[in-house]
Each structure stands twice: as C-alpha cells, then as structure tokens.
Amino acid sequence: MSGTSPRLVTWENGTDLVIELLLARDVETVWNALTDAESARAWFAPFRLGAETGAEESDTADEADSDGSAARPITFALEDIDLNGSVLSCEDFDHVLLELDDFGVLGIRLLPFEGETGQETLLVFTHTAPDAETARGQAAEVGPMWDTHLRLFARTLGINIAEVTEPELVAVYSDLDLEVAESADATEVES
C-alpha cells in the first residue's frame, strides 16, 4: 500500500469511515510518534491531556487510563481554537479511541504486520457515524482532511508517501463503496 485505503463499513452500531495506511515502521515506533503530544503538531495539532478541574496534565496519550474505565479530557490546540474531547479508551501499542466535540468518535488502531521491510504497522483510522447516509456525508466532508493528516503523519516517520491533490481526495471520498461487517451473530446464524 503506497497510500491510504478508504472505505465505509456498516456494522451493528453504525457506519465507520475506515482509512488504512501501511507504515514501514514497527508498532512501537508508530505508537510513540502518534502519542507524543508535541510532535503531533507536525501532522495534526499538539494536545494536552488532563482533568477538567485543573489536575496535573500529561504529555502523552499512552499515560491515559489504559483500562478504558473512565473518559479522560483531551484538548488539541489548533491555530485559532481549541478542539476539546475525551479519550474513551487507550491501550498502549494497540489503540486509542477519542470522542471530539466537533467530530464525534474517532479511533486509531495499530496492527503489527510482517512486511517486505520486516516489522511494519497497519494503521486503521475510523470515524464513526450512526448510519450509512451520515457516514457518506462525513466521508465527503472530512475524509479528505483525515487522509491528508494521515499522510502527514507518515511523512513525520520518514516514509515517502504519494502526494494526492484535494480534488482527487474529494472525488475518492465522495464515492466510497459500502461494506457490511460480519457480526458474531451473523456468523453463528450461517453456521
């Protein structure tokens, strides 16, 4: 995969915009780059974690509650505003699930992959919507933005990734195929 691979996937609780990106780096390297609050500035925005009450803040997402027991506030410092949300779940070197005020639920999962260069990582980004129609609208509206940020992230890792113009991204994200995820219930019924 020399670039991103987007699609829409319907499952029992909604429809996800799914963007996959194969990175020629091991999971630990990708996780450390992903969760470094200050280096996130290069591909999205610097962030801070902490309690809303002003409790001590942390600099890395991997220090979040890894058992997913309680949402933890997160703020991304964009150029002119703060983007607030919560870390819903975080497991070191595996995934982070966020709910951002202006975007909803977003996830990033890292899967180890034995590739041509040795240990590689499949980064799976998801943006959840309640239904397929909403997901199609979100994909057309914000899919190109997420794709661009993921490409920027790959470049911060020193990975040469193909350039794609905004009109090309808009065309791709405005016409994504819809897949239906197999649920555990559906598998049991077919058996």
How many domains does the chain divide into? Answer: 1
Please tell me the pTM assigned to this model. Answer: 0.84
Task: Please report whether residue 65 resides in a domain.
Answer: no
pLDDT digits (tens, 9 = 90+) for 87-115: 999 999 999 999 999 999 999 999 999 98
CA distances from 38 to 20, 46, 178 (A): 24, 5, 36
**Interval 132-152 mean pLDDT:** 97
- Residue 155 inside a domain? The answer is yes
Question: What is the structure's pLDDT at 183?
Answer: 62
Separation of alpha carbons 182 and 91, rounded Å? 24
Summarize the confidence of residues 131-136 as an average pLDDT.
96
25: CATH: 3.30.530.20
Q: pLDDT digit string (tens) for 48-74?
A: 998 543 434 344 444 444 444 568 999
Contacts of 93 (CB under 8 A, 6+ apart): 27, 28, 31, 110
Q: Edge-to-edge, what's the strand order for the sheet holding 95-100?
A: 47-49, 72-77, 82-91, 95-100, 104-115, 118-129, 14-23, 4-11, 178-180
Domain presence at residue 104: yes
Q: For residue 89, what are its two tokens?
A: 């779940």
Looking up tokens 């996130």, which residue turns up? 40
Is residue 161 in a domain?
A: yes
The answer to the question of residue 61 being in a domain is: no
- Is 114 or 123 the better-scoring residue by pLDDT? 123
What is the extent of the structural domain holding 140? 4-36+89-190
In a domain, 165, yes or no: yes
Answer yes or no: is 186 within a domain: yes
